[in-house]
Structures are given as C-alpha cells and as structure tokens.
Structure 1
Amino acid sequence: MNLFKRILFLKLLTISTAFAHLGTIVGKITDAKTKQPIRGANVVLTGLNRGAISDDAGYFQINNLSPAPYTVEVSFMGYVGQTQSVIVKADEASVLNFILASTEVSLEEVRVSAANPQHQQVISSLDIKLRNVNNSQEVLRLIPGVVIGQHAGGGKAEQIFLRGFDIDHGTDIRLTVDGMPINMVSHAHGQGYADAHFIIPELIESVDFKKGLYDADKGNFATAGWANFRTKSVLDQNFVKAEAGQFNTYRLVGGANILGKKAQQNNQNAYLAGEYNYSDAYFEAPQYFNRLNLLGKYHGHLSTKTNLNFTASTFWSKWDASGQIPDRAVADGTIGFFGAIDPNEGGQTSRTNLNAEFVTLTKHNHVWKNQFFYGNYNFELFSNFTFFLDDPINGDQIKQKEARNLWGYNGNYSIAHGIGTKQSTFNIGVNYRHDVTNDSELSHTKNRSELLEAYKLGDINEANIGIYADENIQLSSRLSATVGVRFDYFHNQYLDHLQANTKSKAKASIVSPKLNLYYTQNSRLQFYLNLGKGFHSNDTRAVVAQKGLDILPPAYGADFGTTWKPFPKLLINAAYWYLWLQQEFVYVGDAGIVEPSGQSVRSGFDVSVRYQLTKNLFADFDANWAKPRAVGEAEGQNFIPLAVKFTSIGGLTLKNKHGFSGSLRYRFVGDRPANEDASIIAKGYFVTDALLSYTKSKFTLGLNIQNLLNTRWKETQFATESRLSNEAEPVEEIHFTPGTPFNARAFLQVSF
C-alpha cells in the first residue's frame, strides 16, 4: 500500500506544479432524449492534436491549455456532431455542456486519433437488436472471434471459444455486468463458470470488450480477453414483446419507466422489467425449459455532482437435458441424432443481485467512482458423461451443487491533467471480492434422487483484493501510451466435510505490469503494441489439496496490430498476438470439472472488417487463426484438446429505424483436435442465421431464424471414454450435443 500512496503523492505534486497559469476545459456530454451521459464520445480541439474521450459519467477534461479562444468538436457514432467555442483563462476551468441528438449510424464517425486512442471496442444496442440474439449469453457472439456452444438444454452457461482456447464456461475470459462479476471462482462445475442468462437482452445498452490481458483494472480470468455488459439506465420507451416459435417455444418480455415526467426532468429515472421463457427445445426428450428474470433499476443525482445507479435483479431457471451422446450410438441407430442415452440429466439455478454505483465529480474536477455489489447464487446440475463406465449397474450420473454468497467493492479515482503541454490521465483503483459457498458438492447419484457416493463436499471461502494504477499520456502528436501495474492477493480456505471438517488454507499474490502504445501515422492509419501480464486463478479445492500447485498461474501476452480506414466507410482492424500460460486448464469429461495441466503457448492472427455499403446497409467479416500448443510435449503429442484453430463470423445487416431491418449471418468453426495427439477430431461447422423485422409507428413485427439452411451440426464436442449398458469394453470417441435444426420464431413488440 505504501508504494501506491507514494505514487499518488508524487503524481498530485506534479499535477499541481504543471497547472500554474494554464487553463482547463471541463465538459459533460449527454443524450438529448434520455438525458443520460454518453460514454466514449470523441472530443478534439479544432486544428490542434489535443483531445479527450468522455468517461462513464459523460465527463471529459483537457488540461494545460494556454489562455486563448478554442473550438471544441464532439462526435460519436449514432449522434449528430456538435461544435462549441470557448475562451480559456489562466488558472480557471471553462465548463461546457454538450447535448447530442441521435441520428443514423455512420462509420464515418469512427475516428483514428493519436490524441484519443480507443483502448477498447464497443458493441452498441443497435447491433444487438439487429442480430440473432436469443439470450444475453449470445451477445458474446458479436465479439470478433468468439464462438459459443450450449450443451445442457439451454439452462447451463454456454461454452466459450476464443483465441485458440476452449475456455469451457469462463476460465480465460473475464465477464461482468455493470462492473459486477459474472464469473464464479471455485464453482461446482468448473473454475470461472460464467452464466449471463440473468441479463435481459433488451436491456443491454452496450458491451465493452477487449482481447488480451492489457488493462490494469481487469484482474482474474482476463487472459484471452474481457467483456462488460452495460445495462440501460433509462428506457427510451416502455415496451412489451411476445415471441413464439417451433418446438413449443414462448417468450414474453417487457419494461416500463415508473417515474413521472417531472422526476425525469430532474434526472431521476427508474424502471422495472421482466422476462419469461419456455421451450421444449428440439431434442427427442422434451427439455421443459423455464427461465424467469426480474429487474429494477434507478438512476438519479444524489447531488449536483454525484450520480447513483442502483440495480436489483433476480433470476431462476430449471430444465431437463439430453446431455452429450456418443457417435457410435447414433451411427448404429441406437438413438437418433437428437436423442439421449441418459434422459435424467438437467438442473436448476438462480441468482439475486444488488449493485450500487456512485460517480462523483470532485471540486478539483477529478472523477471518483465507487461500486458495491452483492449476489446470492444457487446451482444444481445432474450429468452423465460416461454412462456405465465406472458403475455398470447404476450408471455414472453425477451431481454438482453449490449455494453461494458473494460481495465486493470496486473503486477508481481518475485525474485528468497535463505534463507540460501533454494531455494525461492518472487512474488509481481497488477491487475487492469475497465468495463463500455452503456444501459445494460433487456426488455420484441415480435418477437425480438417490445419493450413491459423495466425491467432494465442503465449504469454500475465497477472498481477492486487487490494487492498480495506470497513466495514460500523449507523448507526441502521433504517439500515446498507457502504462499500468496491478497487484492481486488471494486467500483461499476450504472446510472439507468428508474429512472430519478439516480446514485447509492457501494464499498467494501476483504483480501484473501492462503497457499499451498507440502510434498514429495519419487520420486513417494507426498502429498499436500491447504488452502485459495477467492470470487466471486456480480452484480453492485444488490448491489446498495439491501442495506446490500454483494458486495464481501467470500469463504473458502481446498484440501488435493496426486500425486502418482506407475509405471513410471502411474500417479494418488486424492484429498478430501471442499468449503464454504457466498453467493450462483442461476440461475432464468423466468428472465434469476443469483441472490444471501444464504450460501452453498460443499465437495467432485476427482480422475484422466493417464496411458501410449504403446509408443503411452494413457488412462485417471476422477471421481468426490460432496455433495452440502444449509446452514441453513431443511434436504431434502437444495439441490442446478442443482448442479452436480457425473461426470466422460475418454477414450483412440492414439498419432502419422505421420500415424493414434485418440481418443475414454465418458462423464457421474449423476442424480441431479433440485430444493431445489429434487422433480424434472435432468436426467443424458452417451455420447461417437470419432476422427480418418491420417497424411502423410503435409496432415491430419480426421473424428470427436459426440455422436457415437446416445444416446438421455438432454444437459442442468432447473426446470422452464411455461405456454403454450393452458394451463389455469402453470406447473413446467424440461425444456431442447436436446444434439446433431450422428453428423459426416470430415476435411482436409494442412500444408506448
């Protein structure tokens, strides 16, 4: 802590000296309709290579300006740009307020700038609305290079594939919603398990994301990348939406503002929303899938310079599942492609959240953010991966269960300042998270009701505190840099109920430096180099049981890339990347858990293209190559099971506020090794989806189609050793969950 105090003291001393006889421009950017702050808007001084990016609360600041008149330009994609003039005086802060009106989206508004390098990418609510999104988890498909797969009836968190990883359910991607963690540490089903189904898709305002481990404020699991869902602070309009489709599928969702116009004029907003889903799904055995989501959110001003966002939500889901089935059972006709070996799989889960976020603009024009969150989480899952391999009489069904409370705090203090004539921003922050589980369980069961043997049963107590600091500075007219460092400390404790309530403890810490460089050749071309160290934590039960096992195995990465706009409406992003992991996490099918393995290395190449063909027609294309390998293994024996090698996603999107809108999209995953020597291959697939909608006045009618060409494909695959009831010897081969066949759903939305 002393180190960070000294850093802050020296920084404040430097800032106070540098401000002498110079002026400052401070401003806020808000949406004309919703009165909500606009985050990420581009601010520049006309004719000068000086500028800023508006923060989460819509604030921006440009410091160390010589007394003179200036013209300030503000722009953001989807809004009409605005210009204001201001006279800066010595030792004074000139205040500007920009209120932007929305307009048609145009790629011309995307700026390449040395003064304002974009450290992350954003998926807008408009992108989400005009893509095939059936639940919040599927929003991840909009992130270039991300592929997801469901394999437990729709109620379980999807598997995630990114940058040469089979991330399972979240071991190497950090997911949050409004800054609150989604990943579950030391989860009953696997480390980092991230179930985002408690988010209602229509309430997602945007998704921030970045690939790699280069941000000091992002800690555990942010190795392959991170994403943060941002929910709306205010509804543009009240709405009700009803959906119905094949396989006895129904969905009803709605939201309404609950405060009057007078309160809204005083920047007080509150709304309630709810969602209910039911589906039998496309499997031969009905899934009887149920999901209920309820959410309330309040946004207001505690004072003229302090904003509050408070969110309360609850979620419940229950389902049956057909599970993974072996190739041989389908090939010999024992079951159909959509059949099941064990029809008794399934589960239920629930989560209740409280999240309070405070943003304060201090009297020194610094931004201070405070967030407190709490969650209560329950999970129960029955699976059978190996059928009759271990127990030829009763079968190998397992039960994974936990009850969890988690709470924490995120704080950040941001100082926009200048060093000489150079624009700079200093951030210092702290993250705290504490998870306590009751009776985390792994058991051998029969018919979901009979306990045959308890494998693991105990209570987990895991705490993590992280402290970080970073400095973003414009070094020259073309070069800017962000330098950061992060310190994390973990304390793990496990109370083993199967070993006479034996209590075991472990602790560890890690330091993670970060460096991001951005070089802008001109207004159309920018290069960047990102370097960093990160980590993904190990399961508490593993680290207390295996002495010498690394609690916080580190990862080291690098990205070298470019952002290029050869034409005003064509945007290309390309990057070569490298990632080394001290410890690989591998899914173990017969146990239904993730276990630590050896070192691994990955490298690859990403390309993303966005092209605006006409005013309302957009094309996008993403291609991602990766070479994942285990370190220290013989050539040909060093493949990482199920790690993706090539993925591509793309399509056409028609964006229209009124009239016809829609999209036609594809997703492709190439063949990949399913085991270490590639003797078993997980076959790839190519699937197309379509969405068409028509909006008139306050009514929207639409049709959402998954798998337009009715392709037969395997959504998730594993190389698993199993034995069927009529087999004398086990067989290792591909076990899979079939992907959806042609699946159409119609919807009607009414806004009021």
Structure 2
Amino acid sequence: MSRFVSGITTSLCLLASPAALAATDDAGGASAMADEVVVTAARRDLIGSAVTSSQGVVVKEELELLPAYRVGQMLETVPGLVVTSHSGEGKANQYLLRGFNLDHGTDMATSVDGMPVNMRTHAHGQGYTDLNFIIPELASGIGYTKGPYYAAQGDFAAVGSVQMGYVDQLEDQVALTAGTLGYQRAFAAGGADVGNGHLLAAGELAHYDGPWDHPDNLRKGNAVLRYAQGDRQDGFTVMAMYYRALWRATNDQPARAITEGLIGRYGTLDPTDGGQARRMSLSGTYATPVEKGWLAGGEVTANAYVINNQLTLWNNFTHFLDNPVDGDQHAQDENRMVAGGAVSYSRPLRLLGLEHEIVTGLDTRFDDVHVDLQATRARVPLAMVNSDNVREAGGGAYIQATSHWTPWLRTVVGVREDYLTATDHGTNAGVVAARLFQPKGSAIATLWQGTEVYVSAGRGFHSDDVRGVTPKGAAGGSAPLLAKADGEEVGIRSTILPNLTATLTAFQIDFVSELTYDPDVGQTEAGRPSRRRGLELNTTYAPWDWLEFYGSVAFSHARYTDSDPAGNFIPDAPKLIGSLALYLKDLGPWSGGVEYRYFGAHPLIEDNSVRADGSSEWNLTANYTLAGGLRFGIGLYNVFDSKDDAADYYYTDRLPGEPAEGVSDRHVHPLEPRSVRFTVAKVF
C-alpha cells in the first residue's frame, strides 16, 4: 500500500478531480450512452444528467492517449478498473473492480456497438469477456455503470457494465508499430461515401512473443466492414467483423518451481499450453424519432446481432496431480452461435404538472453452444472428459421513469424482469429455467450549483453455468441459474473548482452466490454468498484545454457471509485498487499520456494465511504529429521495470517426484518487464 500512497500523494495535490461519471437520464441505455454521449461529453460534464455518482463516460480522445499495453487495458479508463493477465495474450484478460476479482469478465457486462461480449456457459469461465477482436482506433468511446441500479442492464451487470461504441467514419490512414519482446502491428483504415451513407473498412495484423522462455508467438488478425447512414438519433448502421488468433501461453506457475531452478521467472512447465480463437459477427443498429401515432414525440432505438465464436484453450494447471504419467493438460473447446437484439422507446412526458422521461425496452438472446473438455498431452487428445450441447434462451423487459419533482430534486425509478431457460444434452443433461424481478431506484438532490448527492438501491444478477445447475451437473445442480445481487450506494459529485470535478461513493453489494475461479480445473463455478462494502474516490482536473489529470482509488472490504469453517476471506479480492493518469492533448504537435496502475495485497485462501503483495507499474506514450498528417509515437511500458506479479493463486499441483497428494503452493504470473514500441502513422 505504501507504493500506492506515495504515488497518490504527489498527484492528489493537483488532482482532486473525479473520475469520469455519467450518463443520461435514460441511464442504462447501453448503446445510446456509448455511441452518442461518449463522443461529445467530457468526464466533468455530468451534473444534472447522471443517475448515480459511479456512472460515467470516457471520450475517444482519452482512449487514444491511454498507454495501454494490450487492447483490453483500454477499459482502465473506467475508474477503479484494473485489467491484467495470467496467461497468453490471445486469452481474455482478467478484470478487477471494486474489490472484485472478476476473473475473465464475471459480473461486468461488456458490449461493443450493442453486441454482448460476455459468454454464458463458457468452456473456461462464466461471463468470459475476450476483447481481442477490438481494433482500438475504431472505438468511439465508453459508457460505464457500477452497481445494479440501471434498468436497461441485465445479465452480468451487477458489479459494473461497459458499453463501447464504434465510429462511423475515420480518416484514411495507415500505422506501423514495432517494439521489443517481438511486437509488430500493422493497421489500415479507409472509407468512402456510398449512396446516402458512408462505408468504412479497417484491419489489423499483429504479432507478439513476450518475455517468455517459450515465446507466445501470438498471430492475430482483425477486419471490420461498416456502413452507416444518418446519425445516432435518426439512422442505421450495419457492421461485419472477423477475428482470428493463435498463440502459445505461459500460465501461472508454481513458485517452488522457480525458486528450485526448474524454470526461470518467465518459464513454463508445459510449453505446449496455448490457444486458438475465431470470431465472426454481423450486427446492426437503428434509431428514429416517432412523429406520428400514439408514440409520437418519442424515439425508438434497436439493435440486432449474430455471432459465431470458436475457441480452444490448452491449459496444464496441476501438472501431474491427476495423471502422473501423461500430465494434467486439458483442452477446453467450444463452438458457439449467439443471436439476439434489443429495442427501446423513450420520450419526455408532462404529467401532474411535472416533467418526466420514460424509457421502456426489452432485450433477448439465444446461445447454442457445444462445449467439451478433453484430456490431452502436448495438445494431442487422450480422452473425452465431458461434452455438452447447451441451448440457452431468455431476455429481459424493463421500464424506467425519471421524474423532476423540484428544480433541485429528481428520482429515477425502474423495474426489470429477466427470464432464462436452458437445455443441456450431454454429460450434464437436464432442463432448467428461472426468472428474477429486479426493482431499482435513485434519488438525486442538487445541494447547490455544481454539486449533487445520490442515493441508490437495486437488484441485479449474473447467470450461472448451466452445467452446474442441471440435475446431473456439479453437486447435483446446486447452483442458482440466476444468482441475485442486492446493492446500495450513497455518493456525491461536485465541481469543486472550475475544471475540477470529484466524486465520492460509499457502496455495498450482497451476492447470493459469488462466481469464483477454481484453478484446479481452470473453470469458474458458483460459490458462497458474499458481501462487499467500500469507498471510491475519483477526480478529474483539466486546468487547460491541453492538459488533464485524473485519479481514482477504491477501498473495499470483501467477505463471505456464511459460516464455512474454511474462513470468510474472499481469495483474490484486493482491498485497494487505484490509478493515476495524465493526458497531454494537442499541445502544438505533441500529445501523450502517463498512467500509474495499482492493485493491493489480497488473500489467496479463505483463512487469509496466504497472501499476495499486489502489483503496480507506470506506462507512458508520447506522439509528435507533423502538419502533413505524419505521426511518430513511442510507448514505454513498465517504465521502472517492476518485478511484481500480474496474477497470483494458491492451489495444489504436483511436480515429478513429489507426493501423490501434491503440494499446495503459490502460483504466479509475472508482469512483463520494461518494453518499448515505436509507431509511424500517416493520415491521408
């Protein structure tokens, strides 16, 4: 913690400014917030529109200036969110928010241009959120929420949600990047007016080895074709996307293997671990004002999508614990089709002499997935462990009303109901269904100009892996299909000084069943009931148009709430998460960003007898743009060459010659050492 305090002390003197918040009065309208508000609103322009103190937007400019080592770290512009990794670069990242280790995306609903990214009943982890298909230059901005207070947000959104928009137009450009640790990337984009709209095409190719003794050899390609006509209030878009990646992976390794010299700090006991992924999607959005009929005066927005995801992960976490001859490597496979969409209607309304805004909508989603687990040796199949064909169908309907009672008091009240049914034909055969009613509400009082207080309460949920819910599933189907979460928070947002904004939020959230990661099998599973209480401070200070300071820190107290004798500490739940950033914007030809990211010490087992130290690092980027559109950039990552670990776990595995019952040990995945990347880009 001392490392964080020393960093934050030097900056909070300048920064007392809140982290981005906010949204619109129809908050929770995911794609509207991401695609429209994010492009035009600044972090500090949220008084009078936000539903809670922990809701906000991130503009495109901040995404471009953040020194992100990997594409998933673009999400670190969301206050209190840290993105890290414990495996190869082709795999979904790990996300930490408000004292939650969200593994690969549990309880943080993420969407891109209205398409959900979280995957249900996934081969590796419930809510798996792989962002490697995103091309960073195409992101238009981010809208985010925290807590279960937004009626339009459904599955996985109880802790938080992130909605990323994509641009409709981009200047013709190319960019080439090369750096240490075997990093290369090429990007190109171009567009043309077609008919009454605009056609945009973009693609990237990337390669990365990393510092690993057995290089990742990541090979990744992305392509996007997008047609847009009209604007976000009256128009439509159609987008096709393709993504393909192959890689090797150095997973978390037993600490004793490193200290005993069996492998180096960047080594692996099974160099055949790795993965391959493919994603294809077709999606569209539509918005129109309603000018006739009984719906006149409102606006309709809609989106639809179809996605194909294919993934294979080869992981050997326990080495020779279960199979002392061939080892414990497994292949986790899935082939998935997802189809769905959403529609909403919003309009202002004057009733009983008061001004209101009404938003009502529904969303639906269907998943058809084949998922299996095979025992393998050096990626060669040995035996099928289990195989499931799962179909999940469901959706939610909601209504939300924002009412302005006085010039200084407004309320946002909503209800949502979700229904989900699933059928499993396979190892864990069965049929299950559940529904959940979710009330939500906020009261917002303007104390004086530039200062608002928020009080919020609501219910949300995450769905659980169907294989643990069916009668033949884990523990005879003991997991709830829809695990509810109840939350409350109180917060304040204030423009303390010109160009200085701050938010302070106290929160509590209770889960009836927390999703936890079981490293023994490389899978998330439904766990014990839990509670988190915490405090979050965010600050944004922009003394000049060309300079912005930003800081965020979240303290949390995380405990299981049952009486299990194993203990009530929640493994991998950090008590402190924080970040500091500086953005340099168009200072003549110069632009860039500096970021400090930190997550604190945390327990690794329930009785708190084994702990991890946490992690911190500094990253920076700098760009110089010539008048003709030629740009030179440099990125420096892990500037001070921190030797911290990016991820830590504690579990039992077995190395050759050890007792049959194995050895319980810390398993670590180190931060990448200092590295540098150089970019040359040209806008035409």
| TM score, norm. by length of structure 1 | 0.83
Matched, 1:690 2:620: yes
Question: For residue 174 of structure 2, what is the aligned residue in structure 1?
Answer: 240
Letter in 2 for 1:295: V
Q: Is the 8 A contact 1:214 1:516 kept in 2?
A: yes
Q: Which amino acid is 2:91 matched to?
A: K
1:179-194 alignment, distance < 5 Å: 179-194=114-129
1:114–1:518 Cα contact (<8 Å) kept: no
**Amino acid in the other structure paired with 1:716:** A
| Cα distance in 1, alignment partners of residues 144 and 386 from structure 2 | 36
* Aligned counterpart in structure 1 of residue 362 of structure 2, from 427, 430, 436: 430
- Which residue pairs with 2:443 in the alignment? 517
Equivalent residue letter for 1:214: Y
Helix, strand or coil: the match of 2:533?
Answer: strand
Please give the secondary structure, in 1, of the residue aligned with 2:406. Answer: coil
Contact 1:312 1:355 survives alignment (8 Å): yes
Query: Partner of 1:389: helix, strand, or coil?
Result: coil
The runs of 5 or more residues in structure 2 that have no matched partner are 1-21
- Where 2:586 maps in the other structure, the secondary structure is coil
Match of 2:642 in 1: 711
> How big is each residue's C-alpha offset from its partner over 1:595-618, in whole Å with a ceiling of 9 and x where there is no partner?
111211111000001112333222
1:112 partner SS: coil
| Pick aligned residue for 2:228 from 299, 303, 307 | 299
CA change 1:111–1:372 in 2 (3 A) is closer
Matched, 1:365 2:297: yes
CA distance 1:522–1:443, shift in 2 (3 Å): same
1:660 partnered with 2:594: no
Note if 1:731 corresponds to 2:657: no
1:620 maps to 2:550: yes
Partner of 2:452: 526
* Match of residue 490 from structure 1: 420
Matched residue SS, 1:126: helix
| Gap runs ≥5 in structure 1 | 1-39, 43-50, 60-74, 80-104
Q: Verify the 8 A CA contact 2:349 2:355 in the aligned structure 1.
A: yes
Asked if 1:321 corresponds to 2:252, the answer is no
> Which whole-Å CA distance do the structure 1 matches of 2:233 and 2:162 have between them?
28
Residues 76 and 227 (structure 1), Cα distance of their counterparts in 2 relative to 1, 3 Å cut: closer
* Residues 510 and 566 of structure 1: CA distance in aligned 2, closer, same or farther (over 3 Å): same
Do the aligned residues in 2 keep the contact of 1:114 with 1:478 (CA within 8 Å)? no
Residues 1:708 and 1:178: Cα distance change in structure 2 (over 3 Å): same
The residue that corresponds to 1:342 in the other structure is: 270
- Report the Cα offset of residue 115 of structure 1: 9.8
Change (3 A) 1:624 1:187: same
User: Where does 1:104-183 land on structure 2 (aligned, <5 Å)?
Assistant: 110=45, 112-113=47-48, 120-183=55-118
Summarize the Cα distance change of 1:356–1:731 in structure 2 as closer, same or farther, 3 Å threshold: same
Counterpart of 2:580 in structure 1 is: 650
Q: Confirm or deny: 8 A CA contact 2:28 2:151 kept in the other structure.
A: no
1:280 equivalent to 2:209? Answer: yes
Q: Which residue of 2 aligns with 1:585?
A: 515
1:552 to 473, 477, 482: 482
Give the Å deviation of 1:533: 0.2
Deviation at 1:728?
2.8
Name 2:3's counterpart in structure 1.
none
- Aligned counterpart, 1:680: 610
Does 2:150 correspond to 1:221? no
Tell me by how many angstroms 1:479 deviates. Answer: 0.8
Distance 1:158 1:515, change over 3 A: same
Query: How far apart are 1:120 and its partner, in Å?
Result: 3.3
Q: Is the 8 A contact 1:135 1:200 kept in 2?
A: no
* Whole-angstrom distance in 1 between the partners of 2:622 and 2:384: 50
Structure 1 position 76, deviation (Å): 8.8
| Aligned partner letter, 1:110 | D
CA distance in 2, matches of 1:54, 1:404: 27
Q: CA deviation at 1:360?
A: 1.4
Residue 124 of structure 2 aligns to a residue in which SS?
A: coil
Deviates more, 1:570-579 or 1:355-364: 355-364
CA drift at 1:635 = 8.6
- Residue type of the partner of 1:648? G
Residues in 2 aligned to 1:285 and 1:340: alpha-carbon distance in whole angstroms: 8
Give SS of 1:137's match.
helix
Does the 8 Å contact 1:565/1:572 carry over to 2?
yes
In 2, Cα distance between equivalents of 1:77 and 1:222: 19
Query: Which digits, 9 at most, give the CA deviation of each residue in 1:654-677, with x for residues without a partner?
Result: 111641111222111111000101
In the TM superposition, what is the alpha-carbon distance from 1:643 to its structure 2 partner? 1.0
Pair 1:493–1:704, CA change in 2 (3 A): same
Whether the 8 Å contact between 1:172 and 1:536 is mirrored in structure 2 is yes
Q: 1:78 to 1:149 in 2, by over 3 A?
A: closer
Label 1:55 to 1:427 Cα distance change in 2 as closer, same or farther (>3 A): closer
Q: Counterpart of 1:507 in structure 2: which amino acid?
A: A
Shift of 1:689: 0.6
SS of alignment partner, residue 330 of structure 1: helix
Structure 1 CA distance for aligned equivalents of residues 100 and 117 of structure 2:
19
One-letter amino acid of the counterpart of residue 256, structure 1: G
CA distance 1:749–1:305, shift in 2 (3 Å) = closer
* Aligned-pair Cα RMSD in Å: 2.5
SS of equivalent to 1:193:
coil
Q: In 2, Cα distance between the equivalents of 1:677 and 1:415?
A: 52
Q: Distance in 2 between matches of 1:330 and 1:180?
A: 42
User: 1:296–1:475: structure 2 CA closer, same or farther, 3 Å change rule?
Assistant: same
Alignment-derived partner of residue 575 in structure 1: 505
Q: Between Structure 1 and Structure 2, how many residues are aligned?
A: 651
Larger Rg: 1
Q: C-alpha distance in 1, partners of 2:38/2:125?
A: 39
Question: Corresponding residue for 1:27?
Answer: none
Query: What is the distance in 2 between the residues matched to 1:494 and 1:537?
Result: 15
Q: Within the alignment, does 1:740 sit opposite 2:672 as a pair?
A: yes
Instruction: Provide the identity percentage.
Output: 28
Using the alignment, how far apart are the partners of 2:37 and 2:326 within structure 1? 61
Written as runs of structure 1 = structure 2, the 5 A alignment for 1:446-461 is 446-451=377-382, 453-461=383-391
TM-score using structure 2 length? 0.91
Q: 1:597 and 1:571 mapped to 2: Cα distance?
A: 39
2:303 and 2:53 map into 1 onto residues whose CA distance is 24
Aligned to 1:202: 137
Aligned twin of 2:6? none
**Per-residue deviation, 1:112:** 2.3
Tell me by how many angstroms 1:322 deviates: 1.6
CA deviation after TM superposition for structure 1 residue 133, in Å:
2.2
- The answer on 1:594 being equivalent to 2:524 is yes
CA distance in 1, matches of 2:79, 2:229: 35
Q: 1:94 aligns to what?
A: none
Q: Deviations over 1:139-175 (max 9, x none)?
A: 1111111111112210000011111111111111100
Spell out, residue by residue over 1:332-374, the C-alpha distance to the aligned partner (whole angstroms, 9 max, x if none): 2221100111111001011101111111111122101121110
SS in 2 for 1:128: helix
- What is the Cα deviation at residue 234 of structure 1? 1.5
2:31, 2:165 within 8 Å by CA — same for their partners in 1?
no
What amino acid does structure 2 have at the position aligned with 1:511?
F
Distance in structure 1 (CA, Å) of the matches to 2:323 and 2:26:
64
User: Which of 388, 401, 426 does residue 320 from structure 2 map onto?
Assistant: 388
